[in-house]
Structure 1
């Protein structure tokens, strides 16, 4: 008897319950846009995104009970399937596409228009879904007892625990509303500064700076990631802002060093540590990030080769002939036709500037990395899936081929980023689809309906993501201190380097060496490298979130069930805070673009001194943290 015959899902195959309904489609589409926009904003700020599956599931459970007065676990599962696609597509897009915006600012090319962004993202997302369809039987069904799919199982557990009522959903909504209010007070009204800082003038000749942001979403990233990852990021930030910047200012005071255009001392006098960060530290961080991505890919190569080989072997075994509801996938005939059409369109559409050769590269890399991503998330989870490493490898290989075939300059650079974007989205969506299909397998969903749900989520998100990118770029600009866009800057650097563009290689190599040393010491490179790249104030806020999570993890509880309850509530509340700040960030971007933001901002009127501003910010931050304790420890004890 095989795994498929032994396993019995929560909803039997013979039972028909509401699943792909009008409400679940609309609700899922709305959440896809919300979490896609929120994760785009978050990823461009801190270089990391968070899974939307569980928050989407609990929001769905709460709304379906309140509005429809019914409880269908499969309807909730369909909502999270559609909703989580937005987060995955956004992650793939923000890792690469902002590079084109940065080149546009340099005068090298025009920005990609909304139609170009939509088509590139749509092709990547649909390829990710269709590449995953034939792998479902091989990875989800046949290897049910082998591949755990940690996020997929966690989401299934949340859905199965839906008998708790609306309490979990209320925690998410509370986090969303409270975070939105804090974000509007801090950045909208400007009533308190967004950072608590030591003086940037330093102590005597020491020109470092330390401080913390007070944003709820940044704090929440630290809480969700936990103390270890947070500490790695914080250490990277401390090395940049308390060691590298002071050394650059001290030794290069009168020097004009590329890419800076003025003496370092003058730059520091006019712009403080932020000026040094923007001109020098970001390149060191980019070198460390690139090295971290390559190292993670190299370390994963044995697993990548094994997983791809095993996936192909299992796939060769066929899709199975069962006619059960829980075994129905999109037919292979439809999948093959759709894949062929998408690959042809990739080669001929002017909005996807890759040509026939680029389309062939996308087909090869896309299928390979879709298979690898789908299986690897089943082993190590989405958080440890080396998508950035896959994107780096694709960019390096594609850029070398493009240059060798004569596609140089702006056209070659744009083609390389387009290929990288499609592959990044393919890997992200394939991983998300496999996690969602695992959740569906456990609860008894209909696979073909979930696959339709992924397609719906991809289409909706692809339409929306271009507008989000344009808004954020117009409001603050990619590569700025507000939106560092670390991965996109890294991809830009790689393409420029291969194409022969001018880069401060000495700074990049410093980052490479730093990453190698960190790897030798046994410290995870990618979070450390992100910390080197991003401002220390952001890393410190993440660290504070990690410390709060450490308190909850080590706190003594009456039972293991109580500890699980507190942990889940904390993660849900912080997921809500991320969504709330992301949404208000989009609203504030709209207000900035139409010229309203300056009129409502009171920072200039209040004109707080540095000391008074630090005190006011500390009070607001303390209140925010106290509310985390209240909503994490509160609620029904039997929830």
Structure 2
């Protein structure tokens, strides 16, 4: 503690400034719903989400500082705290809950009610916040300077550079407006195709293509060229090695789980019938490998978390040290555990409910430390969910809860744990930002809970809307993690998985790990359509070029920061219009034009978008 005892936050503990205001709460709640919906849409397509903290912070500064002419850094911090909860809750929900829709489409169960989705999301979100609060002192205060919390620190830097808020917010809104218009023209009016491709007749089973969408370029830029290239490599292996091999050796055979002769299958059908299972095996193995590699860290963090639970920090007289009181936290956790036991959606005994709570706290503590070390983007949330799902399925099967009831119960439990881990990681990043700028922790924690409640209320409607519009497990909405988790649960419960394909993916993942290539992005690239990975690679290539252009370290950082803000806007803009197009699709409103430009012009337009992104990065701040 000594090394941090001299740390002084930007707003001193003895100074009171506007923080938890009607303005900050309302803007935060709106952004929580918007970013939650946009990230749900994005995550179901590309299998990953992006942090909403910095975009929420700059939009907040644009509104509060520029439009409302108010000057309170803590109000802006409150907005990003509440707003980012939507993105994190959506991330946890989309990794698991679409599995329930997939079973409903197959006629095995009824579609999950909005209330069911709300309860799963609410319980997971509230537990995530409650478990993180006792860890704040240990992970954020006592290890300040040791755990970097990349997104939390970066967000604090953006807030501290508040005088630039107007220009930075403008950068986000430029990206948002451009992407919204682009998406409307491409997928609404259908003036030009948003996906182009070419199947090689002389190399049966393969197909090259790219989805020319702003969000993919945005994801690639934010993830960077390395992660983008790992995804691209995974896609290359699936679409130019595995699928041609299946076509070459399969011939006219009908091989489970396919139902038609392999020679009659187009590349997209080969992907749907076989590659999805190989990719699922690789994703599952990647998640488990990530978990195993961090096991020493898990044990150390868990011990530290248990020790910090016994300390009392909530009664401090200093404003910057007040947390939600421990009795309230423990009471909330007990009530949720009882509700999980009582509510039929979760077919568990009291012991099962206790296991959910124990696993939740275990993974919340792990998630909080992981994001502190390596950032939210590398947090193995899906790996934690996979481990929970496997254990929950085995426990339910062993205790006689089998069939569809057991499968639904396993996904519900996995959904809670996945959301717990995602929200705990987000809360820790937000509290880190607050620690640096001098926010009041208890107010941030209340704000986080408000963001969770509103996001939990909206996420069910978003999931239903997207399913009605395009359907999960399709090329439009692959829902990579949820489809894989559905297959895992079915395989354990009913022993009906194509284990040959799954194990092929597992051993490819092991080989990739031996080569010291990050498994998860490679595995996700294997699972997703190649055209998605190609679009992401294009964004990564732009960042690669931007980072290689000469300049001082400060200039390079400013270029990248401008690009991240602009691409955050691209992702949000496309996500918002994607949701609007889903609404039009559900109501059978067709706004498409009667003609479409040729594919080559789609590519030219996309290259133009990439050039705009490049110029935005290189643009000098005034």
TM-score by length of 1: 0.95
Q: Residue 47 of structure 2 corresponds to which residue in structure 1?
A: 47
Distance 1:275 1:320 in 2: 57
Is the aligned partner of 1:218 residue 2:207? no
Q: Residue 594 of structure 1 corresponds to which residue in structure 2?
A: 587
Q: Residue 633 of structure 1 corresponds to which residue in structure 2?
A: 618
Given the superposition, is the C-alpha separation of residues 331 and 239 from structure 1 closer, same or farther in structure 2, using an over 3 Å criterion?
A: same
Distance 1:336 1:40 in 2: 31
Q: Does the 8 Å contact 2:313/2:321 carry over to 1? A: no
1:308-336 Cα shifts (integer Å, max 9, x gaps): 11232344344275301111111111111
Q: Does the 8 Å contact 2:98/2:479 carry over to 1? A: yes
Q: Residue 230 of structure 1 corresponds to which residue in structure 2?
A: 228
Map 1:169-188; keep pairs closer than 5 Å.
169-188=169-188
Q: Does the 8 Å contact 1:120/1:352 carry over to 2? A: no
Is the aligned partner of 1:324 residue 2:318? yes
Q: Residue 5 of structure 1 corresponds to which residue in structure 2?
A: 5
Equivalent of 1:585, from 551, 561, 578?
578
Q: Does the 8 Å contact 1:179/1:578 carry over to 2? A: yes
1:144-173 Cα shifts (integer Å, max 9, x gaps): 232221111111011001111400000000
1:404-437 Cα shifts (integer Å, max 9, x gaps): 0000000000000000000000011111111111
Q: Residue 205 of structure 2 corresponds to which residue in structure 1?
A: 207
Map 1:263-412; keep pairs closer than 5 Å.
263-266=261-264, 268=265, 272-319=266-313, 321-412=315-406
Determine helix, strand or coil for the equivalent of 2:5. helix
Q: Does the 8 Å contact 1:308/1:368 carry over to 2? A: yes
Give the drift of 1:347: 1.2
Distance 1:433 1:89 in 2: 11
Q: Does the 8 Å contact 2:37/2:575 carry over to 1? A: yes
Structure 1, unaligned runs of 5 or more: none
Q: Residue 595 of structure 2 corresponds to which residue in structure 1?
A: 606
Q: Residue 429 of structure 1 corresponds to which residue in structure 2?
A: 423
Q: Which deviates more, 349-358 or 579-588? A: 349-358
Q: Residue 127 of structure 2 corresponds to which residue in structure 1?
A: 127
Distance 2:236 2:371 in 1: 31
Determine helix, strand or coil for the equivalent of 2:396. helix
Q: Does the 8 Å contact 2:212/2:535 carry over to 1? A: yes
Give the drift of 1:367: 1.0
Map 1:411-450; keep pairs closer than 5 Å.
411-450=405-444
1:533-554 Cα shifts (integer Å, max 9, x gaps): 0011110111111110000111
Give the drift of 1:288: 0.5
Q: Does the 8 Å contact 2:368/2:425 carry over to 1? A: yes
Distance 2:314 2:204 in 1: 68
Give the drift of 1:205: 4.7
Is the aligned partner of 1:117 residue 2:117? yes
Determine helix, strand or coil for the equivalent of 1:600. coil
Q: Does the 8 Å contact 2:313/2:322 carry over to 1? A: no
Distance 1:474 1:353 in 2: 28
Determine helix, strand or coil for the equivalent of 1:484. coil
Q: Residue 483 of structure 2 corresponds to which residue in structure 1?
A: 489
Q: Does the 8 Å contact 2:91/2:419 carry over to 1? A: yes
Determine helix, strand or coil for the equivalent of 2:338. helix
Give the drift of 1:265: 1.4
Map 1:238-249; keep pairs closer than 5 Å.
238-249=236-247
Distance 2:92 2:352 in 1: 18
Give the drift of 1:250: 1.8
1:101-150 Cα shifts (integer Å, max 9, x gaps): 11111111111111110111001100111111111112211222322211
Distance 1:147 1:316 in 2: 22
Equivalent of 2:563, from 547, 559, 570?
570
Q: Does the 8 Å contact 2:278/2:501 carry over to 1? A: yes
Distance 2:362 2:165 in 1: 42
Q: Residue 555 of structure 1 corresponds to which residue in structure 2?
A: 549
Q: Which deviates more, 50-59 or 105-114? A: 105-114
Q: Does the 8 Å contact 1:353/1:418 carry over to 2? A: no
Q: Does the 8 Å contact 2:370/2:379 carry over to 1? A: yes
1:358-389 Cα shifts (integer Å, max 9, x gaps): 31221110111111111221122212221111
Determine helix, strand or coil for the equivalent of 2:288. helix
Aligned pair count?
Answer: 622
Q: Which deviates more, 157-166 or 626-635? A: 626-635
Give the drift of 1:351: 4.0
Map 1:41-190; keep pairs closer than 5 Å.
41-190=41-190
Distance 2:376 2:585 in 1: 34
TM-score by length of 2: 0.98
1:166-217 Cα shifts (integer Å, max 9, x gaps): 000000000001001111111101111112322x2x1425331112110000
1:453-508 Cα shifts (integer Å, max 9, x gaps): 10000000000000000010111100000110110011111111111241111111
Distance 1:165 1:494 in 2: 46
Q: Residue 508 of structure 1 corresponds to which residue in structure 2?
A: 502
